[in-house]
């Protein structure tokens, strides 16, 4: 037989926002409103009251924000909280029986039913107010006034009801009445508010050593500085640098990943470490720490943030190999195992062993690397292969860094299983690489974006759509057709708030290793010198697309995406608009880079900000053409004779 015991009277459940019942913080942006909801109820007919207890970053005590009952039938409550500061905001729900409001309900029923004797009910209400006074003597004047008015109308039930149920009286008792059966939701929940760049930004990736003019000499930070005006002019926000650290010589790779490196081969920047230092040093061929600091300042002056590559691996020449050999994978013969990802082998790289008995010192050493660059002014890190390191390490590292510097952003380069990608995001990564690179058909794109924009996914996972990377040259680009490059860039830049390209994209670089998604003569293993104004480049197109992103806040959001019906499988159309209606954008893309296609689409009136049937004007950011649209609209995109993309701003209603 079950032993009788006192159970909770108030039930608080279905609290949102929450990831895995509060195990991980929800993502948000500073300045946004966070909508907190919960189902709150109790047995019987008594009223309940609920508040959000909210602790903002830097605060010691919780602030209390009243919740509003938005659906009485489902006992659903809501509060709107504005996130004013970056960092971790902690919250929970407190709820209790509102005995004063319950008393008013009961008294109102009796007064309306003209019950002759309500003296005991009146006495009960006055006693509730007296108990509130006993618990809050500092509020004596306010409660005393209410008590005097209640006692003065005790002989007139209808008048007393008016006094008791006045807005001021109800608010006073809500604030001061004892919460005799208060419960608090567990576990405590959290929302991490990031700065805007964590959600939206246009990324441009480059190798510093390839920014010079002589293929026989490494480019330097000074050479890269001379490229800043071009990158700024194209409209990029983030300049991501391939690793800038000393490159090892042991096992150094030659051109096209050859095992036989020539004396002048520069090696892979991801083979980090030499006698000149490790993860906190600069490759001498590209400059010094002072040169880096100057470059960082020059980029900042042009509105460009620098993102560094954080690759947790070492060349055989890295100082850690000699200082901490137990941090690496030891073979039975005492040698250290190099990295492999069959069929690929990386003889120039030693992976770190997170199962080492000295794991805590390893973790701390890696945190000091991040702290070193943060101290120099870096606030964005692209993390190489985070899925091959423990998830617990990332939660610890990111929490540690962001507790000190809440403006730091981490991008996860994890092309792996979806559960792992989402888990990394839930543990703190601000953004994540995605499978966009391989989503090319209309159905694939619609299905993938439908998945990414689901509320439960979007609370944790922020995508960054890279159209190409030094490791990935997707088949759709390998034919070198300008329209393919344009359509992929436009899709990446308008579907996702954050997107990126690897330098050379604007020049339509497309030579691949046969049968592989890899660049032939890859910049990972050699210095490349490019003519950035070479004929056939699409710099102007990129500039126009990035300009549309800057002019239209709707393109810097994710969950506002809505796909539109258009009657052709090679045409994809979608609309985005902001809640306030100030930005409305319709995008149409021809997915076939070789042929013109046409179709008809309809824009929902609410998306265009019009009444049904009302004409409206759209302007194309790509061609600057204007059209008057109505209920049904004809679109034709010729990627050979024209452009494969429309990015329409809805201008008038």
Residues annotated as catalytic are: 384, 413
Residue 472's contacts (CB-CB under 8 Å, 6 or more residues apart) are 437, 466, 517, 518
Distance CA 321, CA 325 (A): 5
| Structure letter (DSSP) for residue 327 | G
Sign of the four-CA dihedral 401, 402, 408, 412: positive
For residue 103, with 0-12 CB atoms within 10 Å meaning exposed, 13-18 middle and 19 or more buried, which class applies? buried
Residue of 470, 397, 428, 405 whose CA lies nearest to 241: 470
Is there a contact between 559 and 457 (Cβ–Cβ < 8 Å)?
A: no
Distance CA 264, CA 118 (A): 99
Reduced to 3 states (helix: H, G, I; strand: E, B; else coil), residue 590 is strand
Distance CA 649, CA 624 (A): 10
For residue 117 the two structure tokens come to 């004797």
DSSP string across 336-351: BPPEEETTEEETT-EE
Torsion from C-alpha of 305, 311, 315, 316, nearest 10 degrees: 140
Sign of the four-CA dihedral 110, 112, 113, 119: positive
CA 48 centroid distance within chain:
36
DSSP string across 586-606: EEEEE--TTS-EEEEE---HH
Q: Is 515 left (phi over 0), alpha (psi -120 to 50) or beta?
A: left
CA distances from 625 to 206, 365, 648 (A): 33, 56, 9
Q: Maximum distance among all alpha carbons in the chain?
A: 106
Torsion from C-alpha of 302, 305, 306, 308, nearest 10 degrees: -170
């Amino acid at each position: 037989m079950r032993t009788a015991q006192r159970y909770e009277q108030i039930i608080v459940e279905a609290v949102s926002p929450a990831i895995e019942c509060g195990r991980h913080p929800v993502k948000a942006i500073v300045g946004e409103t966070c909508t907190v909801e919960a189902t709150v109820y109790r047995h019987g007919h008594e009223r309940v009251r609920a508040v959000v207890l909210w602790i903002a970053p830097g605060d010691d005590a919780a602030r209390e924000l009243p919740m509003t009952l938005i659906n009485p039938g489902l006992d659903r409550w809501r509060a709107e909280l504005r996130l004013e500061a970056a960092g971790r905001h902690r919250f929970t729900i407190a709820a209790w029986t509102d005995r004063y409001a319950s008393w008013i309900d009961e008294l109102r029923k009796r007064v309306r039913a003209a019950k002759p004797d309500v003296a005991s009910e009146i006495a009960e209400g006055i006693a509730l107010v007296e108990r509130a006074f006993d618990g809050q003597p500092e509020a004596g004047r306010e409660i005393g006034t209410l008590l005097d008015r209640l006692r003065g109308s005790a002989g007139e039930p209808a008048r007393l009801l008016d006094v008791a149920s006045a807005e001021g009286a109800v608010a006073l008792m809500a604030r001061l009445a004892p919460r005799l059966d208060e419960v608090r939701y567990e576990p405590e929940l959290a929302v991490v508010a990031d700065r805007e760049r964590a959600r939206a930004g246009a990324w441009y990736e480059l190798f510093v050593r390839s920014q010079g003019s002589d293929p026989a000499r490494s480019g330097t930070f000074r050479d890269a500085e001379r490229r800043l005006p071009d990158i700024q002019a194209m409209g990029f926000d983030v300049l991501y640098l391939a690793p800038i650290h000393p490159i090892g010589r042991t096992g150094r790779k030659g051109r096209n990943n050859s095992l036989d490196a020539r004396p002048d081969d520069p090696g892979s920047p991801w083979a980090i470490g030499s006698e000149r230092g490790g993860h906190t040093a600069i490759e001498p061929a590209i400059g010094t720490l002072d040169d880096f600091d100057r470059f960082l300042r020059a980029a900042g002056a042009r509105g460009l943030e620098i993102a560094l590559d954080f690759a947790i691996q070492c060349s055989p020449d890295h100082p850690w190999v000699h200082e901490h050999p137990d941090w690496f994978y030891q073979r039975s013969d005492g040698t250290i195992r190099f990295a492999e990802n069959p069929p690929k082998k990386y003889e120039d790289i030693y992976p770190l062993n997170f199962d080492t008995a000295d794991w805590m010192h390893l973790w701390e050493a890696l945190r000091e690397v991040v702290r070193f660059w943060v101290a120099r002014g870096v606030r964005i890190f692209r993390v190489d292969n985070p899925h091959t390191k423990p998830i617990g390490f990332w939660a610890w590292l990111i929490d540690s860094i962001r507790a000190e510097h809440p403006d730091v952003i981490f991008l996860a380069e994890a092309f792996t299983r979806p559960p792992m990608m989402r888990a990394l995001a839930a543990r703190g990564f601000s953004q994540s690489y995605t499978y966009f690179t391989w989503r090319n058909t209309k159905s694939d794109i619609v299905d993938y974006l439908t998945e990414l924009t689901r509320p439960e996914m979007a609370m944790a996972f922020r995508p960054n759509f890279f159209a190409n990377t030094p490791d990935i040259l997707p088949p759709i680009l390998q034919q070198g057709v300008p329209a393919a490059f344009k359509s992929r860039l436009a899709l990446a830049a308008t579907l996702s708030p954050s997107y990126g390209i690897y330098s050379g994209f604007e020049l339509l670089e497309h030579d691949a290793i046969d049968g592989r998604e890899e660049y032939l003569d890859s910049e990972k293993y050699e210095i490349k010198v490019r003519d950035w104004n070479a004929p056939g480049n699409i710099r102007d197109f990129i500039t126009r697309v990035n300009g549309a992103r800057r002019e239209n806040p709707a393109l810097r959001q994710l969950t506002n995406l809505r796909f539109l019906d258009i009657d052709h499988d090679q045409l994809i159309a979608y609309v985005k608009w902001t809640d306030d209606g100030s930005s409305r954008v319709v995008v149409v893309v021809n997915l076939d880079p070789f042929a013109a296609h046409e179709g008809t689409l309809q824009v929902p009136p609410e998306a265009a900000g019009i009444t049904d049937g009302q004409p409206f004007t759209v302007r194309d950011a790509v061609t600057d053409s204007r059209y008057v649209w109505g209920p049904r609209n004809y679109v034709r995109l010729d990627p050979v004779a024209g452009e494969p993309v429309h990015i329409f701003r809805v201008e008038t209603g």
